[in-house]
Every structure is written in structure tokens, then in C-alpha cells.
Structure 1
Amino acid sequence: MCEGIVEKVKFPNKGIVKVEDSEVTVKNTIPGQKVSFVINKKRKGKAEGRLLEILEKSELENAEANCPHYGVCGGCNYQTLPYEEQLKLKAGQVLELMKAVVPNAEDIFEGIRKSPQQFGYRNKMEYTFGDEVKDGPLALGMHKRGSFYDIVTVDECRIVDDDYRKILGATVAYFRAQDIPFYHRMRHEGYLRHLLVRKAVKTEEILIDLITTTQEICAGESCVNETALLDGWKEQLLALELDGSIAGILHTKNDSVADAVKNEGTEILYGKDYFYEELLGLKFRISPFSFFQTNSLGAEVLYQTAREYIGDSLDEKAEKTVYDLYSGTGTIAQILSPAAKHVIGVEIVEEAVEAAKENAQLNQLKNCDFIAGDVLKVLDSIEEKPDFIVLDPPREGIHPKALEKIIRYGVDRMIYISCKPTSLQRDLEVLQAQGYVVERICCVDMFPGTVHVETVVLLSQHRDKNTCLDERGSRQIEMQASRLASLLAQKPDDTIEIDLDLDELDATSAELKATYQEIKDYVLKEFGLKVSSLYISQVKRKCGIEVGENYNLPKSENARVPQCPKEKEDAIKAALKYFAML
């Protein structure tokens, strides 16, 4: 066992502790804390430690956390820090990363913009049914820190408002009294799975969705009538005194083995299955499974920052074509619509694209088009060339080959919105090598109390548009692509030993988020199923994840290829979500 003082915390959540002449990374810490830990990994001059105990608080911390679940629940690591200190810490982490690749980063860094709300800011929560200890009473809430199985009933959580807490409390109390079992992931038995709650900030409408299996409901030795059970739950909810109004109470069926909220059929128990939310003067229809920023007021700050950075690049003449790449539900595209001739959004998630089309119609925006597909592939099929590009990629950043295509458009300016500054750092290095100059950098705190931060960057073109990629930039892209190719070239039975730090890795593909063996191990541990590399590659292709062109394909056209069974497919998808590949 070791002890030491946390000297600083690097993004994301990596506390640095000096032990003799070496540095040890200890997660879930705050600068200035004295901690005890054990070193559980040491390789190639790097050491990682597992936190055992916080021996002394940092001088930066408040005396007590605002939330009673702090330290037990897996979220809100920074909650004991005053909000101004949280902002300083996040801004400092991003600036340190930017200084490594942007020559004048300190001069153009504009700090961090606050979330309008420090507490009660979330507009959506997905709670899980389970037990806090094995065979304990029914729990409903979040996973305990470091545990796949134990659930903490977060009935006093501070990142949601009081309506969420009342709904959670009433729900868990009702089903405890009825002695209704939760779904056991290993045994695939039980009824209760998840509770999804959404609330519109502007209209204060609430959607409540209970996710269950279709299994027969047994309480003790007797069976329960599902209709009567759900009617009783509905009446409990409608009797609550809430600040908002319940727009709909829903029941969704989900028999997937994956530990994720999945819609296999939804019935309306009360009201309707949607509500409307407003964002920067635009109206959005939200259903239980819609893709939407989970901090509505924070999203307004984020998008206002992006719009401010775009500034004069788009004018009232509306003569320019804008690409909104990784567009989600098209919020940015619709915000830019009045100042553009044509906005084209590209998003890989089909449900998000359908929502974007619906919302554009709702807001009577006729110059927005949305395409479902991988940016890497879709860019080749769009005939209309962009004058301006907005990039809002997922956490892993932009695929190197997609980034190469984006650079070749040679647009004068582009905006990059990033939810992971280490990925942003890597992509900016390539963009700058191609003549782009970083003009402005600003952070936006969308999730107070947590380690997460958004970053907005404005880039301008300072090279001849007609030139090809220069040697340095081409070499960087080739290096990133070769890393992907080296993994994709492995045969299914090959065994490789690797040591990758995903937060510092240059390659962006989901292929590098987890190895095939890690996916196999997760599926075996969580679901008790053995899956092959063939099945994993089949599911990856089905989900639109890049896999080598010939990886695990049959050697001849007539070869019989076994197809992944549904149960194993769901388990693999759960693993992909766990490793942030979906």
C-alpha cells in the first residue's frame, strides 16, 4: 500500500501522485488530497494505482458534499469542490492539452463558460432496478462505483430536480410493497428493469417510462396481474404533488439480454408518448428515446458559443452551404439554417436523423437536409460542396480517413465542438499541419460536478485551397490509419499483448476502444456466454462500426458461415456500449 498527495489531475479524471521518483495515476481524486492506494499496474515506466481511501481532504474542497450519495454512486467526482474551483480545474486541464499542440493557446483561450444551473440541470435520467447488496431490498437508481451489479437508490440525487426524486421514491416504494422482482442479468429472470424519466425545462412537461421484461410476474408464490399492477403504479404517480405536469406514463417491453434500455414495444398507460422542448427559439418534439442534450440550458450556452464563433462567416444573404457533420438530431443545423442557403447534416444513428427531419419540419425550416450514414462513407456521395463545416463528433473524435476528406474541401473556416479534449488535441494537430489556424478556444461546462467538459474551437484556413495535403499532414493521417490497419490485419486466432492508454491514443476508430478479447471477457463475465471473433465482427458490421474489409469473411463464396444468435448479438451490443463503441 502507498500514500501520497495528489499533485494535479489530468483529463479525464487522472490524479497524479509522486511515489519516490515515479508518477502514479490514481483516478477519482482531487488536487491536494492525501490518498492511500495500491499499484495494480506497472509497465513501460507508467504506473496505475487503485484508490483505497482519501486520508485527508484537499484545501480546495468544501467540508461536505451536497449529495448524500457522493462517493458511493459512480458519478459527480468533483461535487466536493466549490463550483468556481471545478471550472478552474476543467479549464486548466483543457488549456494544458491545447498548449501541447496550439502554439499560441494561452493567448486565444477564452476560459470556460458556466452551466446556468449547478444542480438540477439534467432533463433525463435512466434508473436501474436491482439491489444494493446481494438479496437485499429492491433498489432503484445508479450503479455503485466500481460495480456492475450493485445499485444505489439515489432518491436524494442533486443533479435532477425534486420531481425526479419524488417519482423515483414513489416507484421503488410501490414495487417493494408489491414484492415485485427485478431482472437478474445473469439468470435472465425477473420483471423490473429500468425507469426512464424526462422533463422539459421550458414547458415542465414530464414523461415517465417503466421498462420491464414480458416474463410472468411472480410475487412470492403467487402470480400478479400485470394490468392491475401497472394501473396501481400509474395512480401512485398521478397522486404526486409535482412542480411539473405529467404528459405521459408509459410501459416499454424489453427482453434483450443486454443491460441497456431498449424499446421492443411501448404502450401508453396515461396521456401521450412525447412532449415539446424549446431551445434558442426552436421547438423540438421529445419522445422517451429521442436523442437530445441532457442539460437544456447548458446546451443553449454551448450552441450560442458556436453561433458566436461562426459570426460573420455566414451572413444574411444566405448564400453558403453548410455541412453539419455528426449532426445528431440536427440542433446546430437548425440554428444555422436562417443564415445559410443549404444545411446538410450527416449522422450515423438513423433514429436521430428521423428526429432531425421531424424537428426541421416542426420549425418550418425547408433548407435543411439530413443523411443517415457514416461520415467517412457519406462524404463521397454528396455532390454539393460545403462553404463552411461544423464538426461535432463522438468522444473518440474523427476517423483519420474522414478527417482527410474534410481537409480536402479546403473551406475557409470550420467549427469543432468536442466532448473529449484529448481527441480534439489529436485532430487539431492534423488540421494545423494542413494550414488551418486555431483562432479561438472556449470551454463550456455542461455537467457540473462531473469530470466532463465541452470545448468549442474556431479554425480558419491559411493555405492555398488548391494544394494537396502537405507531407507532414499526410504522414500523420497515414500513421493513424496504419494503427487501425495493424489491428484489423490480425487473424481471429492471433494472440497479441498490447498496452494502450485510450485517453492518449492517436487513433480514433472504435476498433481501438476495446480488443476482441476484452469484448469476449466482458460478455462471458456479464452474461455467461462465450462468443467468437466472427460473431463480434458480424455485430460490429451490423452496428456500422468499422471492421477490416476482409476481416472474418469466408475464404470462398460458397463457404457456410454461422450467424450470430440473437441472444449473443444482444450481449455483444451491450459490451460495445460498455466500451463506448456504440
Structure 2
Amino acid sequence: MTVFARPGRSGVMPLPGDRVRVIARKVKKHYAVSEILKLEEPSQDRIPEYCPYEGVCGGCPLGRLRYEKQLKLKRRHVTDVLTRIGGIPDPQVAPVISMAEETETRMEGVLPSSPLAYRNKAVMAVSGLRNGEPSVGYMRGRSHQVLDAGPVCRIQAPPAGAAAEALKAFMRSDHVTGWDSEKKTGLMRHMVVRTAAGTGEVMVILVIAGKGIPNGGKLVEMIDEAIYQLPPAPNGVTYSLESVFLSTNRGPLSQIYGEKVENLVGSMTITEEIGGVAFEISPLAFYQVNPAGMQKLYDQVFAFAGLSVGDTVLDLYCGVGSIGLWLNRIMDDQICVLGIESNEDAVRNANRNAVINHIVNARYVCGKAEDILPQLMGMLPEGQPEQDLTKYLGDHYHLGTVEAAVLDPPRAGCDERLLEAVCAAKPEKIVYVSCDPATMARDVKYLTARGYTFREAVPVDMFPQTGRVETVCLLSKGEISSKNVRIEFPMEEMDMSGFQFGATYEEIQNWVQKEYGFKVPTLYIAQIKRKCGLDIRDHYNISKKDDQIISQCPAEKEEAIMAALRHFHMIS
């Protein structure tokens, strides 16, 4: 029988290896729920006090557990659900990618990773206590009581705490009330703070239950000053308030925003820059909450995708286009990305992000992925009307061969109609990105039953101190790939005159990276090969414009490429 232990009044958050005294509160056939009365003997992996709200906030249930042990626990969880729910015996699950150490990246602009202060988004509730003291923070476990943890939360970026303190000071000075969930009275309901780690830009969204904030300009100035006074981040950027939005919501407390989120002052978006890629982010657009972890996550997606020049990639549930643009940036815009996302603002951000990153071969469509992809595949159920996609894709768009599909669904996982359409598209590889291993395992079971083979899962610790973990999973077709067919015939019968010996573009890139310490795009390699009189194939996406501006290979990179060509005996 499985026994679930809750902290209860003791405030003890149970950890693996703890010996506790409990009292049973509910007993069922296969499990029991108990309340912890006392910690009899702590685990050897328990660390000193982590947070003053331990045991009541519930936001960091693993905060007192040694970080190495957290990683092992999460790896075991991913393995368990893939076996139990996914039906995969002995699945290959790699060690969890840690946030406590640096790993190499393919791009410049690496953010320092840490298991603390990593979250770039804070959603804080606001209330006014009976004594008139405001509280800004997070809900107590299984209640509507707001804990004043906003200013001291150890996993949030510093601007969240600074903004929370400024809001509390404003509420005291101007006698502004916080929301009372029982009486359904009060003005301030929520404060959402989004921070761009690579640029220091900060967005604040204020959610109220009235028509406006009295003396709201003063509140904006106080938040601005509090953020300005923060010390620089570990990567050297300084924080600045760039955008403030306002939303009115009189609905249930579980619903954060009202029908509209309107700009109060500042820009409509904030800009994040990571690994040489810029992303504009609007208030409601999905974006990974751990930017340093995002680099490691997306590098793993790239490694699993195994892309080649000219490949087509589906980026489903794409948000602001971050995964597809990351892949396209690594591939020097020599793959074609089609992204689908239901949030209209996020799609607008995604297409704008492609423009500001000078990426041509990426298109993003607004709609539910489970509706749009079947339409592109000609698989819409009878009677379901087609959506007009011309403003996104033009009049003559055709979805041809798909080499890879990247799925990054919400916690609930993928709609079965989407999985059916993905299987019909027949990508050679499916890279599944998930923040819920259980729903991922459910969808993996569906895909393996339809001809795909589970290859490997790599957990990434995007949420240190919590029980959650992000996982990247690779599935591929069981049959032999058309790109890797082995053909054997006698060498003496071959006419070798038409063959060019040498290295592939990837081998040249890897050699230059190893010997010179920087990456060279395939475009530059092609330019130097042409300069040396070596045969190169036509670029699949060569511009039809006579006046197209093409970046020319710098002298230092030309020298490195020439050295590589000599190394592989392609030139003398």
C-alpha cells in the first residue's frame, strides 16, 4: 500500500529518507493519506532551513533535499511513469541535466545556471489582512490564504521581490485594499512579474477587481524605483521596468486575468536575448520560466532532432516560436519551420521574432494544433470548416515531407487528434518536450502503438526545489530511414571520376570548432569551397532576387575553413 504523508500542523515537509510519526486521515484499498505529527529522524540528505515558509507554502517541496538527491529522485520518477504508464520496459532515461553546473552551448550569450532565483515569471496573489497589513505572495497549501512570501521567495528572480515590496508600500501609504476571497471585496488581486534574464527588462501586470487604481502613477513610479535599485544580475545586466499592464477580473480566484489585459504604460512587449537569439514576449504568451535551463533544453531538442540542410520541422504548441527559431538559428536558417500556436499574441510574437532574428524560413500559424495540422494534412472531420490560413502561409502553401516534429504541449499533454495527424505526417523523428512526465508517457504509449519506437528520454531540471521536471523524449520510425539506406556493390565496377572526396559540412564545422574555438556557418563553407573551385550543390532555398544581400565570410573564418579543407585533403 502507498502512504501519502502531508505536513499538517507540524509544518514538516516529508523528504525521502525521513522517519516520521503520522496519523492516518484516510485509508483506501490501495493507498492511505496521513498527517505528519513529528519528524522522528531526519534524512541524511536533509539540509538546514531553506525558507521561512517551508511546510506551509508548498511551492518548494524539495527545498530541504540535497540538490544531487533531487536529481536522482526526478530521474527515477521519469523512469517509473514511462514504465508504468507508457508501457516501456526498462526505458533508457539519461541522468537529469542539472542547473548547478555549466554545460557547453553552441551559441554565445550563455546565462549562468543556478538552482535558485531562476524563475523569470512570478504570479503573486494579493490580500489585506485583518490588521490592515497587506500580503503579496503565494497561496498556502489547500487554502485561499495568501502567504507574504513574494519578497523572500528563493526561486524567483530579484525583480519579483522588489515589485512585491513596492506594491505593499503603496497599499500602506495610500490605504489600498487587497482582495478578500471570502467577502469578495478589495481592489488588488494579483501581481504578475516577468523578467528577461538576458536583457534585464521587466514587465509587471496588475490585476484588480475595480475600474482602476487610485493614484496608479505613483505605484508605477514606486515599482520602477524598487527595480532600479536592485544590484546587477550575475550575468552583468541591470534590471529596468519597461512595461506595465492592467487587467480587471471579478471572477474566481483561480482565474488570474480578466477578459482584457491593457497596456498602462511602457512597451507592449519585453525582449529576451539568449544564445544569440532575441525573443519579444507579450503579457500572456507562453515562454519557458527558466531561461538558463531553456538553453540546455533546446540544445537537447536539437541533438535529438538530428537535422540536415533542407529539412522541414513542425513546431507544435510553439508559444513565441522559441524552439523553432533556436533550431533554425543553429542551422543558419537552412531548415523550414512551421509553428502552430493557439494564443494570437504569441503567434504575433513568433512571427515578429523570426523577423528580428533575420530568419526567413519560419512561419507561425494561429489556431489549435489539433485543428490546423489535420487541415494541412487533409484530415479534417467531415463537416468541420477549414480555417483561412492565407494570411500566415499565403495562397499556395503545401505541407510536403516532414523530417521532424517537435511537440511542446501544456501539462495536459497532446490532443489525440493532433497525435493522429502527426503520425499521418510521418516524420522520421518526434521530439516530445513535456513538463508532466505522466501525460508524456501516455502520449508516448499512443505513438509507439502506431509505428514509432521510443529511443531515449533526457530529463532537464527546469524547476529546481520543486517536484516538477521537464523531459525531452525522442521517438523515431522503426523502419530504416530513407536517408540511411545501405547499398553495397563491387568497387571495381564504379566510375569514380564524378565523385569528390573530402569531408561533410558537419565534419568541417566540428573540426573548426575544435581547432579554432568558433562555429562557421555552412553558408561560409560553401563560399570558400566555391572560391577554391570545389563542386557544391545548389542551395535549396537560394533567393530569386538579383539584389539579395548575402553575408560574406570574414577573413578569420575563411582562414579556418581553408585549414579544414587542407586537413581533409580537399585542397593542397
Tell me what 1:123 maps to. 120
Map residues 4-403 of structure 1 onto 2, 5 A cutoff: 22-26=1-5, 29-43=14-28, 45-100=29-84, 101=86, 103=88, 105=90, 108-115=92-99, 116-131=113-128, 137-215=133-211, 225-227=214-216, 229-230=218-219, 233=222, 237=226, 240-243=229-232, 244-248=238-242, 250-259=244-253, 260-262=256-258, 264-269=260-265, 271-311=266-306, 314-315=307-308, 317-318=309-310, 320-337=311-328, 339=331, 341-382=335-376, 383-385=398-400, 386-403=402-419
What are the superposed Cα offsets for residues 327-380 of structure 1, whole Å, 9 maximum, x if unpaired?
A: 122111112235454211122222222221221122122221222222222222
Please report how far the alpha carbon of residue 138 of structure 1 lies from its aligned counterpart in structure 2 after TM superposition: 1.1
* Contact residue 73 and residue 142 of structure 1 kept, 8 A: yes
**Aligned-residue RMSD, C-alpha:** 2.8
Please report how far the alpha carbon of residue 430 of structure 1 lies from its aligned counterpart in structure 2 after TM superposition: 2.4
**Is the partner of 1:284 in helix, strand or coil?**
strand
Map residues 549-564 of structure 1 onto 2, 5 A cutoff: none
* Contact residue 73 and residue 152 of structure 1 kept, 8 A: no
Please report how far the alpha carbon of residue 431 of structure 1 lies from its aligned counterpart in structure 2 after TM superposition: 2.0
- Between the aligned partners of 2:52 and 2:425, the Cα distance in structure 1 is 52
Please report how far the alpha carbon of residue 118 of structure 1 lies from its aligned counterpart in structure 2 after TM superposition: 0.8
Tell me which amino acid in the other structure corresponds to 1:140.
V
Residue 422 of structure 1, aligned match among 425, 438, 446: 438
Tell me what 2:447 maps to. 431
- Between the aligned partners of 1:285 and 1:278, the Cα distance in structure 2 is 9
Please report how far the alpha carbon of residue 254 of structure 1 lies from its aligned counterpart in structure 2 after TM superposition: 0.9
- Between the aligned partners of 2:407 and 2:245, the Cα distance in structure 1 is 36
* Contact residue 283 and residue 359 of structure 1 kept, 8 A: yes
Question: Normalising by the residue count of structure 1, what TM-score does the alignment of the two structures yield?
Answer: 0.68
Classify 1:135/1:328 alpha carbon distance in 2 versus 1 (closer, same or farther; 3 Å). Answer: same
- Between the aligned partners of 2:285 and 2:141, the Cα distance in structure 1 is 27
Classify 1:419/1:169 alpha carbon distance in 2 versus 1 (closer, same or farther; 3 Å). Answer: same
Residue 428 of structure 2, aligned match among 395, 398, 412: 412
Greater alpha carbon shift after TM alignment, 450-459 vs 203-212? 203-212
**Is the partner of 1:111 in helix, strand or coil?**
coil
- Between the aligned partners of 1:56 and 1:263, the Cα distance in structure 2 is 50
- Between the aligned partners of 1:366 and 1:35, the Cα distance in structure 2 is 59
* Contact residue 325 and residue 346 of structure 1 kept, 8 A: yes
Classify 1:343/1:214 alpha carbon distance in 2 versus 1 (closer, same or farther; 3 Å). Answer: same
Please report how far the alpha carbon of residue 216 of structure 1 lies from its aligned counterpart in structure 2 after TM superposition: 7.4
* Contact residue 126 and residue 146 of structure 2 kept, 8 A: no
- Between the aligned partners of 2:422 and 2:192, the Cα distance in structure 1 is 38
Classify 1:460/1:287 alpha carbon distance in 2 versus 1 (closer, same or farther; 3 Å). Answer: closer
State percent identity of aligned pairs. 27
* Contact residue 151 and residue 165 of structure 2 kept, 8 A: yes
Classify 1:227/1:23 alpha carbon distance in 2 versus 1 (closer, same or farther; 3 Å). Answer: closer
Please report how far the alpha carbon of residue 125 of structure 1 lies from its aligned counterpart in structure 2 after TM superposition: 0.9
Greater alpha carbon shift after TM alignment, 196-205 vs 137-146? 196-205
Tell me which amino acid in the other structure corresponds to 2:302.
R
* Contact residue 118 and residue 290 of structure 2 kept, 8 A: yes
**Structure 2 unaligned blocks of 5 or more:** 7-12, 100-112, 233-237, 377-397, 483-572
Q: In terms of Rg, which structure is larger?
A: 2
**Is the partner of 2:94 in helix, strand or coil?**
strand
- Between the aligned partners of 1:93 and 1:253, the Cα distance in structure 2 is 38
What are the superposed Cα offsets for residues 402-446 of structure 1, whole Å, 9 maximum, x if unpaired?
A: 322322333222111121111122222222222322222211000
Classify 1:349/1:267 alpha carbon distance in 2 versus 1 (closer, same or farther; 3 Å). Answer: closer
- Between the aligned partners of 2:130 and 2:31, the Cα distance in structure 1 is 33
Tell me what 2:460 maps to. 444
* Contact residue 252 and residue 263 of structure 1 kept, 8 A: no
What are the superposed Cα offsets for residues 508-529 of structure 1, whole Å, 9 maximum, x if unpaired?
A: xxxxxxxxxxxxxxxxxxxxxx
**Is the partner of 2:468 in helix, strand or coil?**
coil
**Structure 1 unaligned blocks of 5 or more:** 1-21, 218-224, 467-582
Greater alpha carbon shift after TM alignment, 438-447 vs 59-68? 59-68
Please report how far the alpha carbon of residue 77 of structure 1 lies from its aligned counterpart in structure 2 after TM superposition: 0.3
- Between the aligned partners of 1:323 and 1:379, the Cα distance in structure 2 is 9
* Contact residue 163 and residue 223 of structure 2 kept, 8 A: no
* Contact residue 322 and residue 343 of structure 1 kept, 8 A: yes
